[in-house]
Chains A and B, each alone.
Chain A
């Protein structure tokens, strides 16, 4: 790679960079790149489904080196466009859509199921009544469905006898509906709530706060939204992802033609604001220790979540 060349990176988002989660975290990576020598980084947010091809080609035609489509929405659109621009690298932060893809496009398996399994386990461990824990999902897609199953497996295998249930709301951006979904779960006996639903999830946390049941955040550090009930948040390191991929393009190590598989402890990390990685008032030391063990097992591959789910 030529050290004097600037690498031009563009991030495409279907939602907003101020969503306090999925979009905002990736945007943080762009901001970091903007102050990194050798990189020029830009983004476009709020791209409607129908506008994706045009926005992508716009950047490709403008000579960008790396175009990141952030989310499942980009999976197929970028796959179709990539062959037209062999000199541009494409990255999509969602699963590989077909077994073989062009060598200038890379997909990512961001260890959602591993994280969900661990979240389920932690939820079960901190449940006081040990009766039920609940999950609130976003868009009605297979990833969310499978995350729900991983959450259920994590909870029910870790604390036998506990019941885990979930509601897929169908939307990522509808906080009011997220709130009612969580309230429904709580009303039916759940005393710990986790979500994977972006803005919809904010409502889920508010429901937990209102009912005074424990909750776990997702994607970002969501302690501030409901400090009294959020024990920890599983933050997804999307900023790191953006930086990592951009650097791989800059130094020529971009691994196109397949899927990127970071381990769960690389791409996810438990955070709880000023309290560090968890809030001891909500998560007992014992529970935290057990969770850490599971977390390590999943990260090391000793515990294979995919195997459990496919069984």
Chain B
């Protein structure tokens, strides 16, 4: 007979982990298939358009890449911060701060402003530097508060998000508001837009920035003594300090880098997609980026595939909604369930299914159980 029993230790092979995650995704798809059927839509057709929307053609791939780029950048920021023991949640704030800085610089590329007429190759580094600096300082303010006074960065950064969002809301409804005025800035000049990288799609160069960032973060954490110090400081600050690692400084550096990466995501969104600063343009991306990082198990190279999958799924969800006309709430449910089930999937690894003849089961001595 089939029996489910608890393992001594959770299965830890890569196949087991991937298999459990795949099971989780299938379970989410099955649950939502019922919802589709109840709404009178054909689940198979829905899932076909879910897949083809995000990956089925170049156009969809272009959107997927655009979605993935900022997600990946925020996830990389998460990795740097969290691996250094800085459980920062303020990426929503860094994102909009970075977006605001990028917009401000891009809006200076007009006649009579300080960047009038600079070529893109000059503009871009300046803009990236400005955005990253703004985000870095924003995140590092929390890092500094923690290093200096010992407050919890988890809670502080949650509060910081509101302040950043309200600050940007103030900017777009006040000082940066475009004439004529909706709560948004003027459109940035076309010369400052990120170039498109795939013919016939909207895919912009942001994905290249994300790729580069992933490589750099991987190199930092795996190949450099600095990264080693950050990881050690994250795993055991006390031991790190005793062995001569300046933990406070590493945390501050990690928070600077994390904020800079999330701000870069904001820049990518402004220069690549929105072309202006808007109220509410983050829309939770700072948190989804954290989700991506965790699904990638805080590994910088896994971030890209996970971000692409997540991005593709939300692009696909749009086209699924167009194709089936079901309420968007079902796509919310599908996305949320998929993530929750994947997060829960390690739980499956604690158990295994064993085949056991009934006789053997009866003959087992009492107490000989696995703990």
**Contact pick for B279, options A49, A75, A77, A97, CB 8 Å:** A49
Is A161 part of the binding interface, using a Cβ–Cβ cutoff of 8 Å?
A: no
| B322 and A142 contacting across the interface, CB-CB below 8 Å | no
Which chain B residues (6-53) contact chain A, with CB distance < 8 Å? 53
Number of interface residues of A (CB under 8 A): 30
Which chain B residues (273-300) contact chain A, with CB distance < 8 Å? 273-276, 278-285
Write the nearest CB–CB distance from A23 to chain B, whole angstroms. Answer: 12
Which chain A residues (45-88) contact chain B, with CB distance < 8 Å? 45-46, 48-51, 53-55, 57-59, 61-62, 72, 75-77, 80
A62 to B52, CA, bound (A): 13
Known: A50-B283, A50-B285, A55-B318. A44 touches B328 (CB 8 A): yes
**Contact pick for A50, options B274, B275, B322, B328, CB 8 Å:** B274
| A46 and B318 contacting across the interface, CB-CB below 8 Å | no
Q: Which one of B120-128, B181-189, B207-215, B227-235 is at the A interface? A: B181-189
Known: A46-B328, A76-B182. A54 touches B318 (CB 8 A): yes
| B322 and A58 contacting across the interface, CB-CB below 8 Å | yes
Q: Which residue of A lies closest to B185 (CB)?
A: A76
With contacts defined as CB atoms under 8 Å apart, how many contacts are there between chain A and chain B in the complex? 74
**Contact pick for B328, options A45, A58, A75, CB 8 Å:** A45
Write the nearest CB–CB distance from A135 to chain B, whole angstroms. Answer: 19
**Contact pick for B63, options A46, A54, A62, CB 8 Å:** A54
Is B325 part of the binding interface, using a Cβ–Cβ cutoff of 8 Å?
A: yes
Is B269 part of the binding interface, using a Cβ–Cβ cutoff of 8 Å?
A: yes
| B315 and A76 contacting across the interface, CB-CB below 8 Å | no
| B59 and A98 contacting across the interface, CB-CB below 8 Å | no
A51 to B182, CA, bound (A): 18
| A44 and B187 contacting across the interface, CB-CB below 8 Å | no
**Contact pick for B322, options A48, A62, A77, CB 8 Å:** A62
Q: Which residue of A lies closest to B190 (CB)?
A: A80
Is B152 part of the binding interface, using a Cβ–Cβ cutoff of 8 Å?
A: no
| B322 and A72 contacting across the interface, CB-CB below 8 Å | no
**Contact pick for B182, options A10, A55, A75, CB 8 Å:** A75
Within 8 Å CB of B183, what residues of A?
139-141
| B325 and A42 contacting across the interface, CB-CB below 8 Å | yes
**Contact pick for A53, options B53, B274, B282, B319, CB 8 Å:** B274
| B318 and A51 contacting across the interface, CB-CB below 8 Å | yes
Which 5 pairs between the two chains have the least Cβ-Cβ distance?
A: A48-B283, A49-B280, A46-B328, A142-B181, A50-B283
A sample of 14 cross-chain residue pairs with beta-carbon separation below 8 angstroms, ordered by A number, consists of: A42-B322, A45-B327, A49-B279, A49-B281, A50-B269, A50-B285, A54-B63, A54-B315, A57-B202, A58-B53, A139-B183, A140-B173, A141-B181, A141-B183
Interface residues of A (CB under 8 A from B): 10, 42-46, 48-51, 53-55, 57-59, 61-62, 72, 75-77, 80, 94, 97-98, 139-142
8 further A-B pairs in the complex, CB-CB below 8 A; given A44-B321, A49-B280, A140-B173: A44-B328, A49-B278, A53-B274, A54-B63, A58-B322, A77-B274, A80-B187, A142-B181
